[in-house]
Structure 1
């Protein structure tokens, strides 16, 4: 607007400075002034008008330039913000695409494995059916041969025929044994395939769900009586084949497809079957050998009770030294100790360990592995188990007098997880030593509210440090 007014003023000034040739002066006095004076005054007025117009034009142009610069700067700032946002969006989009590609690849691999397992399972089933048919045919042949043998025995065949018949029987029995072994091997492979199929199904559920929550359910109703800690040889009515088919420990319970913590029967090597409490997680199964929770079971027991076990498998119990030895001698084992103090603080520690038999009073050998609990049992090498009525170490008489319960007392050392249960942290030093406590070398003593001790087989990559 200002620029338009300025142009109008310049036009008027030009018109006044250079009038038209035909124009006549209206003022009679103007014709009387000399021509030179009129032209000089007119030029001065034009110069003034032109200067004022140019000055205003300069001010307007400067304001216009400033506003234009500000608008351009705002546009550049918005463009830079847009560029950064676009770059961030591009990066996030690329990451999402990469994750989507990885998920697709994993899903395709799982589907391929699942299909392969299904085909293997069908093949194994067909082989089992063919083997069973062959077995039935062989049994039929054996029955016919037995009838023939009985007939021949009645007719008193010669010694040569009897020798041939016995050889034929031995061949048939050898085939029978080989078929039985093959069936057992096929059954083990089938169980492994079922385990892998369940694992793949679990992975597929994890991929398809937004969050995975592990649920633990109780294995028996609390109103029912829990299984005891005695051996099962005189209590079960199952056949001997069923008894021999029991898992050797809780890790094998897990490998057979069980995914719930609870009470299961096991049969370690060279041992009668018995019940144990299996603590099962997503990584595997562990056999619980001791549990202290609320003081409902008295742990100040005799040697015989500590050797055979006592308590309630669903609450507080000591599994028994004989059963622990039967499980531990299967393979190298890991001892897992989890403790809870009176401030609800939970810590754990793990050892590689071996346990000797009853002739050595179940001597313990430990090597520290890992955990966030201060170590208090590193020097437990060859320490024997002791109770108040069976002192197997030199200082046992003093240790069992100052402590309660049975434990691997190391020169009256600083821990006893089978001590007297107290419902609060004892104030006196003697009371703390007689209770459940854990004391690292050169450290403070932990008065404990709850303890859980479990064992599991050591992995192939675990080694003594």
Structure 2
């Protein structure tokens, strides 16, 4: 560059000297002719400038050539990377097609499992009713047989009576075996349904979803619905008169905790979990303990119930209403935090029907959980897909269906289960917690809600 600059400085001088010699004699006196040595000096300077210019141009060309080589190398690397990326993209697209195909098959199987589960659930309930009817008939037959034996002379008809009694016992045993077989099939279907649902969750986490799924709203992308309550583990003993609740079963000499069928007035037979407490049996309507069950369910599922009676479950608003609509009941809530601190509270309460969004009204009796649920207020039940009239849409901002006041942020026992304490307050509000009177949120490890007729004396 210096050579170019010097050349550009010398050229005007040479041109100027030649121009001066061509002036007309009329303009000015002619300059004195330069000596030969002065002209040689000018030529040397010009030659030196041209030489430096040549060196500068050579360096410039060399640098430009190196830069072009670097650019070509980078272009080659880019081409190779682009080719590798194209191959990876092709592989990803093939995997995506396979995953979509697998997801479609799983969804079809899941729907088939759901239908089979619902069908088995219906058959199990029919079997329960039929079994109760048959047991009632057996009892009537036994009473008639006893009367017949007493009315006949000693020894007469003994063989016929023994044969008839043996036949009845064999029929009852056959019914029990059939019921056990159906239960085992139902448990197997339930297990397969859980495995399919887990696979679907894994596929969803990969980020490959159906195109139709991407167009759904935030509400429609909520967790998938599941079948009704599992009936595994039903006790063989039942109350012949159709017990209204677990307390009635206890009065009928069933004194161990477990799963039993009940039949409230104006309701079909359904199973409940009975828990023995203080000389009676309580009906459990909700249980959380390990996060195995998703509680961010639909309005329909909260109506009819979901989960497993021997694990985490929600009994169902319609079933709870059918029980408490028979008499006055006590609601007991038991909580345990992650430091193993246990608390409880009992309320006298009333529960409205579906038309009132199962409105809950509470009055505290005793306990050590202040501000567990707002008292003396009409609390309407809401879910993410069913917002009670004149109430805020709390399930949208929080999680799970619950009895909300007109202000969100109170205790929520159906929120998202967190095995470790969440750091952020917004995340804790979406989780399973109890809000103290001072406004502090306590993360909960287990919760349980139970009901019992008010004729039971409350216990410490």
TM-score, length basis structure 2: 0.48
TM-score, length basis structure 1: 0.48
